[in-house]
Amino acid sequence: MKDCIDTVFSGIQPSGGLHWGNYIGAVHHWVTLQSQYRCLFCIVDYHAITQAYEPKHFQAKILDMAADLLASGIDPNQSIFFIQSDVPEHTELCWILNSVTPFGDLSRMTQFKEKSQQHNASINAGLFGYPVLQAADIALYKANKIPVGQDQIQHVELVRRIVRIFNQRFGTLFPEPEPMLSQTPKILGLDGQAKMSKSMNNTIEFSANQDVVRKKIAAAATDPQRKRRNDTGNPEHCNIYTLHQFFSDKETIAWANHGCKTADIGCVDCKKALSTAALDHFSEIRMRKETWIAQPDNIKDILKTGAQKARVIAQETMNEVREKMGL
């Protein structure tokens, strides 16, 4: 039975397909929430345009992301699944929330600082106001549970502050959303250093084939203290072990943990077992993705229907917002 009081909202940018990091950290978690909550999942194209992108290829990227999400198990019969720019109320509410968002708070966002360092030729106001659009995404549906990866916690905290200021100034309308973390909210990249992310070029793509998965895992960093085969290791310091905890069954996890600590197994054995478990996890998903990719018109229909459902809720909220604000 769905508990209709709680509403879940989350979004993902269509900038390059899913990779293991955002699949494990967020999307797989979304799939599990669908049967318990009223859920909305959104492909946030307006967020994506704050960074360089190729207009000619943008629609294809959006469709590809939609296919990844559907293949992962986002179920349009259970959840509202749509594209942000199909619901213009997102930008309308964003403007309104801009007028209650403290400038100082925005300038303290770590992600803004990081992104503006990476792209210091093109720091635009959209990149700066990015979390305000995120606040609008959430507030439009009065969502109160926000499943995100670790990197988005600071943004959700700011969203709480923005809605609090709105509620105080104009009268209570929006719930203060809480972040929900998956069991594995942060996946490191193959370098074992930075967060796994497209821009760091340390990812494994969601639909990577067998050869790519095995090769990338074979080359991935492990516990840096375990230099030789006979050294014992600490699984807690190994990204391969973190991945085992997601992909492998209990026995394999225990085997990897004990084998690493005692040097009974080498990193090579441990990595082979991980690749096998991961390929097994993705085998059905990859087949589903191929089926979806072959029917782009069906994907478009699903997204349009999702946007229609989302818009009904968004328009109701906007009526309340206008009334409260004297607009």
Applying CB under 6 A, the residues found at the interface with ligand TRP are 9-13, 44, 47, 134, 137-138, 146, 148, 152, 155
Is the CB of 13 or the CB of 239 nearer to ligand TRP?
13
Distance CA 162, CA 190 (A): 36
Q: What minimum distance in Å lies between the beta carbon of 42 and ligand TRP? A: 7
180 φ, ψ (degrees, to nearest 5): -120, 125
Q: Which of 14, 2, 20 lies closest to 41, judged by CA? A: 14
Is the CB of 129 or the CB of 259 nearer to ligand TRP?
129
Distance CA 16, CA 207 (A): 12
Q: Which residues of 75-90 are buried (b: 16+ CB within 10 A; e: fewer)?
A: ebebbbbbbbbbbebb
Residue type at 19 in one-letter notation: H
Distance CA 105, CA 327 (A): 26
Distance CA 141, CA 145 (A): 11
4 φ, ψ (degrees, to nearest 5): -80, 0
Q: What minimum distance in Å lies between the beta carbon of 74 and ligand TRP? A: 14
Is the CB of 152 or the CB of 275 nearer to ligand TRP?
152
Active site residues: 115, 195, 198
Q: What minimum distance in Å lies between the beta carbon of 155 and ligand TRP? A: 6
Is the CB of 84 or the CB of 207 nearer to ligand TRP?
84
Is the CB of 115 or the CB of 214 nearer to ligand TRP?
115
Residue nearest ligand TRP (C-beta atom)? 11
Is the CB of 150 or the CB of 245 nearer to ligand TRP?
150
Q: Packing angle between helix 55-72 and helix 267-293, nearest 10 degrees?
A: 110
Helix residue ranges per DSSP H, 129-263: 130-139, 153-170, 210-219, 239-247, 250-262
Q: What minimum distance in Å lies between the beta carbon of 150 and ligand TRP? A: 11
Q: What minimum distance in Å lies between the beta carbon of 188 and ligand TRP? A: 17
Q: What minimum distance in Å lies between the beta carbon of 142 and ligand TRP? A: 13
Q: Counting beta carbons within 10 angstroms of the beta carbon of residue 197, is it exposed (0 to 12), middle (13 to 18) or buried (19 or more)?
A: middle
**Residue 288 in 3-state DSSP?**
helix
Q: What is the 3-state secondary structure (H, E, C) of 131-142?
A: HHHHHHHHHCCC
